[in-house]
Amino acid sequence: MERVKIGIIIHPLNTESFRDLFPKIYTFFGNWILKFLDDSFITHNIVRIPPHKIMHVCNLIHNNYEIEILGVLLPIFPRQMLIEKENTIKKIIDCFKIFEQENVNIITLAGFTSIVTNGGRDVSKMTSIPITSGNATTAVLASMALEKEAGRHGKKVRELSVAIIGATGDIGSICARIYSKKAKFLRLCSRTISDDSEICKKLKAEGFDQFVCFTDAREAVSDADLIIAAASSVDALLGYSDFKEGSIICDIGMPPNVSFEKSGLTSFPAKKTLFFGGTSELPFYKKIFDSKWKSFFPQNAIYGCLTEAIILAFSKRFDLVSLGRGEISSENLEGLADLILKYRIFPAVKYL
């Protein structure tokens, strides 16, 4: 039996997610205590809490593997990470120390921990343990899920236009490369995108010029059939009315790029399909009974970053880690896609 131990750095997205998670993680506190704490108190004080272990999934046997997943909480919100970058990096290194003591085989950087470290590149030398942002697997899973969902609606991707929000980013640029080979037309969006952006040059060098750039997310999605929303924005950018009828939207943003509040709705009416993507269905999900795990993953929709760490730990292919922005080679991307198939990992589609 082979033993694999995976570390994941987790952080709350905002005070709302903190209020939701807090009583589930620290059960001895209970829900009532939060009633006495206002949002500004939480925001001000959360950064005083040092990183610490919050989840340990163990005794998990799958095929020939004994799997352990160790979650360390980085108590800081994305908005604060962007402002206090240096302090955040120091805390991420403290998380690494916890993982080193625990002898984990690979560390994955969830959510904004990857964004503030340049896709993990800035901290990859700060520990002897391989680290990954998991972005390539996230992009592959989001692309697979969107294509599957289009098929379910009887749509053929090669006849459709695909908008990618956050197209200059790590995940967005991989999605753009994937869909340049499948879709009829791409609508690429980021605040700073232009024909001179790396992703545009790359697509042209590969012989694809059927795309147009937008700096406004609403304009980009207004005439798109399929949408991958992968912007690293702390606030939602899009609402229901921004999309055309029949469109299918895969939001992978953490925090989400698409909000119900922006639309004045509590759920998306059926004429447009919105789901949270970039996630996977793990074949051993049903064997996990850990209550903390269930509070992070109440459904079998596991972040792409964690999925990547799991398949790399199984295969010991640490040469395939995702690091940096726009750096993943086509060979590595294919290598990861093969591992996804090999370990029978399927894209999750969590409707919103």
* Contact footprint for ligand NAP (CB under 6 A): 111-112, 114-115, 119, 134-135, 138, 165-172, 189-193, 217, 230-233, 237, 252-254, 278-279, 303-305, 325
Q: Which is nearer to ligand NAP, 66 or 218 (CB)?
A: 218
* Tokens found for residue 255: 């925090």
In the complex, minimum distance from the CB of residue 1 to ligand NAP, in angstroms, rounded to a whole number: 29
In the complex, minimum distance from the CB of residue 97 to ligand NAP, in angstroms, rounded to a whole number: 23
Q: Which is nearer to ligand NAP, 75 or 166 (CB)?
A: 166
Task: Give CA–CA dist 219/196, Å, rounded.
Answer: 20
Q: Which is nearer to ligand NAP, 66 or 300 (CB)?
A: 300
Concatenate the DSSP letters of all residues of 93-109 into one string: HHHHHHHHHTT-SEEEE
Q: Which is nearer to ligand NAP, 64 or 330 (CB)?
A: 330
Q: In terms of C-beta density within 10 A (0-12 exposed, 13-18 middle, 19 or more buried), how is residue 131 classed?
A: buried
- Residue 192, C-beta contacts closer than 8 angstroms, at least 6 positions apart: 168, 215
Q: Which is nearer to ligand NAP, 51 or 253 (CB)?
A: 253
In the complex, minimum distance from the CB of residue 291 to ligand NAP, in angstroms, rounded to a whole number: 22
In the complex, minimum distance from the CB of residue 114 to ligand NAP, in angstroms, rounded to a whole number: 5
Show the CA angle centred on residue 347, arms to residues 224 and 234, nearest 5°. 60
Contact present, 300 and 281 (Cβ < 8 Å): yes
Contact present, 146 and 138 (Cβ < 8 Å): no
* Tokens found for residue 331: 């060979």
Quick one: which of 311, 308, 338 has its CA closest to 119?
A: 308
Q: Which is nearer to ligand NAP, 7 or 172 (CB)?
A: 172
Counting Cα atoms < 13 Å in the Cβ hemisphere of 41 gives: 7
Q: Which is nearer to ligand NAP, 180 or 279 (CB)?
A: 279
In the complex, minimum distance from the CB of residue 118 to ligand NAP, in angstroms, rounded to a whole number: 8
Q: Which is nearer to ligand NAP, 225 or 308 (CB)?
A: 308
Inter-CA distances, 208 with 113, 162, 167, 176, Å: 33, 14, 15, 11
* Radius of gyration for the chain, computed over Cα atoms and rounded to the nearest angstrom: 20
Contact present, 350 and 301 (Cβ < 8 Å): yes
Inter-CA distances, 176 with 162, 164, 184, 352, Å: 9, 7, 12, 24
In the complex, minimum distance from the CB of residue 43 to ligand NAP, in angstroms, rounded to a whole number: 19
Residue least distant from ligand NAP (Cβ): 169
In the complex, minimum distance from the CB of residue 158 to ligand NAP, in angstroms, rounded to a whole number: 25
In the complex, minimum distance from the CB of residue 123 to ligand NAP, in angstroms, rounded to a whole number: 14
